Structure 1
Amino acid sequence: MDGQVLGFCGPGLMGAPMIRHLLRAAHAVRVWNRTPAKAEALIADGAQVAATPSALAREADVVLLCVADAAAVEQVVFGEHGLFAGAARESVRVRRIVDHSSIPPDATRRLAERAAAFGAGWVDAPVSGGVAGAQNGTLAIMAGGASADVEAITPILGAYAARVTHMGGVGAGQTAKLCNQAIVTATVAAIAEAVSLARRSGIDAAKLPEALAGGWADSTLLRTFVPRMTQDGLESIGALKTFQKDVDTIAAAAAQTGTPMPVAGTVQQLLRLAAAMGLAQADFSGFIDVLHTPRTGAA
């Protein structure tokens, strides 16, 4: 495209389809993953695999991250084999880091300050839209960072995003993602309650999306999660432990800002109960397994 080489760390459920979109858009992409097989699976699509983040950083102008949490981001960037491992400022090729991970805003600001010492701009760019959005190239991205940095990477993100919204300085994208997750987790929990009520009342819960279509309760989440809560054998789109991480971060941000969030607090306790029940690895739809114990005669 413009001669820039991209690095991408974290080709998982979300990252792999995002990388494929970048390759289809004719970007040169170097990939790294802690599990090498996940990176090697992209060779057939045109990606080149780096042995370590530091090796990737020697070839990439812009590095995109999509990893599990703040500890993983810090390790990838500043760890023993991280992007800046053993590097002097004048030897660093990476000019911008784009973090698609969902991590606390304050952690983002600290990491950005450290990256600035190497001359690299930081854009926190968490995504919404799930695996389907990544596969379809229709993700919504909430970006935080300097205007020049956000403007520079927006054409790159356009390969897999339908929308990139600049929310403010570093950390603002992560705050917007917390707002997103507060709405998503509360809504999925409410859908699970509705499915459980329908079943206990003897009606076919699977018909709820059809019955509610066009009404105020209709939503992408309703149409996505009722089938996942009423059918078996569907491929996982994410684990409840990810929701728990996000809701714990929401609770911390609420405490820091003095924001009352009673609904998010209830969802947090529901997710802790799910973990205690051994459901941390269950699909996002696993709320239903916490709330609904089938009774004799239930639909």
Structure 2
Amino acid sequence: MTQTERPRIGFIGIGLMGEAMVRNLLDRGYAVTVWNLEPERLNTVVPHGAVAADSPAAVAKASDIVMLCVLNMDAVERCIFAEDGVAAAGKGPRVVVDFSTADPEGTRKAAARLRDMTGCGWVDAPVSGGPQLARNGTMTVMAGGDAADFETVRPVVDQMAGNLTLMGPVGAGQTTKILNQAIVGTGYVLMAEALILAEAAGIDAAQLPACLAGGHADSSLLQRLYPQMQQRAFDPPNSYARQLLKDLKAVSAFSQGLGLDLGVIEKGVSQFKDYVALGHEMTDSAGVVKLYEHKASQRDAAKG
């Protein structure tokens, strides 16, 4: 496929994941126009061929498909509906693909509003896997949207994902991401507790993933996250603790809205609240193991 046959891509939000996704798209030969609220972040992708724009509207005017990966629903709405947002571009992209983790109802409302204003479609496509998988095009993407809109963007998103699934209409991707974050967020806490327990018991904690491989306890969390915790390898961060706390709070609110009382999820929220409160907002989420070390040192100090 030649460059002229490829859709022009716009990308809004050049954080850890956005940078990785843009670099992947550039490697595959796509023309990518970018914008970020903090313009200095553009320096991570412009030297590799991305073209900087001065607003989301400018990104939209230059693009057939606009992708977003921003902090939350408020940030999504700012990028789409502000005076300089995507909707202000008039005849802009055919479809918006939102890789952000946002809320299902807010996503449905935003998608309907944008379609009414501009005729632009919307696919919510939150992701999982972290920057390395985003960089090499093997992340997991859980999508929601109209079938025709999904087919429009699928050829591009397929190249960014090892696993891409349409879970239903607009909002279904965000609902699926809530379930994903319930598993991931509580899994981080569980891995931290398993590590602390293994170290306290005096076994060779580094051997645990290999020992348990193939059994019911095996998982990508055990094979990828646990070793990172065990090695205390938190710099540079693969994800931010404040973001996972935000996601866990969203899981809690969603479950409570359905009339459910889910104790494991609530414990995960509590532990990440405590970790972030120690000043670790921008540290790696895997660093939650430090919370247990902090509490242990407090207990030792109290004993005198």
Aligned to 2:125: 125
Question: Quick check: 227-236 or 213-222, which moved more?
Answer: 227-236
- Asked if 1 retains the 8 angstrom alpha-carbon contact of 2:232 and 2:287, the reply is no
What is the rounded CA distance, in whole Å, between the counterparts of 1:130 and 1:139 in structure 2? 7
Aligned partners of 1:182, 1:51: CA distance in 2, in Å?
36
After superposition, what is the alpha-carbon deviation per residue over 1:199-232, rounded to whole angstroms, capped at 9, x for unaligned? 2222332222122222221221112222222224
Aligned to 1:169: 169
Other structure's SS at 1:143 match = strand
Contact kept, 8 Å, 1:182 with 1:264, in 2: the verdict is yes
| From 71, 75, 95, the counterpart of 1:72 | 75
Asked if 2 retains the 8 angstrom alpha-carbon contact of 1:205 and 1:226, the reply is no
User: Do the aligned partners of 2:199 and 2:205 also contact (CA within 8 Å) in 1?
Assistant: yes
Deviation, 1:196, is 0.8
Identity of aligned residues (%): 40
Query: Counterpart of 2:240 in structure 1: which amino acid?
Result: A
CA positional deviation for 1:257: 1.9
Q: Match of 1:75, SS?
A: helix
Q: Give the match for residue 50 of structure 2.
A: 47
| Counterpart contact for 1:40–1:49, Cα < 8 Å | no
Alpha-carbon separation, structure 1, partners of 2:131 and 2:140: 12
User: Which whole-Å CA distance do the structure 1 matches of 2:36 and 2:282 have between them?
Assistant: 21
- Equivalent position SS for 1:57: helix
Q: TM-score, normalised by structure 1?
A: 0.92
Q: Is the 8 A contact 2:20 2:132 kept in 1?
A: no
Change (3 A) 1:3 1:279: closer
SS of residue matched to 1:218: coil
- Contact 1:99-1:124 at 8 Å conserved across structures: yes
CA distance in 2, matches of 1:114, 1:54: 16
How far, CA to CA, are the matches of 1:157 and 1:39 in structure 2? 22
Deviates more, 1:97-106 or 1:27-36: 27-36
Q: How does 1:114-153 map to 2 (within 5 A)?
A: 114-117=113-116, 118-153=118-153
In the alignment, the residues of structure 1 paired with residue 283 and residue 45 of structure 2 have an alpha-carbon distance, to the nearest angstrom, of: 27
Corresponding residue of 2:63: 60
**Pairwise CA distance, 1:193:** 0.6
SS in 1 for 2:159: coil
- Alignment partners' CA distance in 2, 1:41 and 1:245: 25
SS at match of 1:26: coil
| Correspondence for 2:38 | 35
Report the CA distance between 1:3 and its aligned residue.
Answer: 4.3
Segments of 5+ residues of structure 2 without an aligned counterpart are: none
TM-score by length of 2: 0.90
Report the counterpart of residue 211 of structure 2 in structure 1. 211
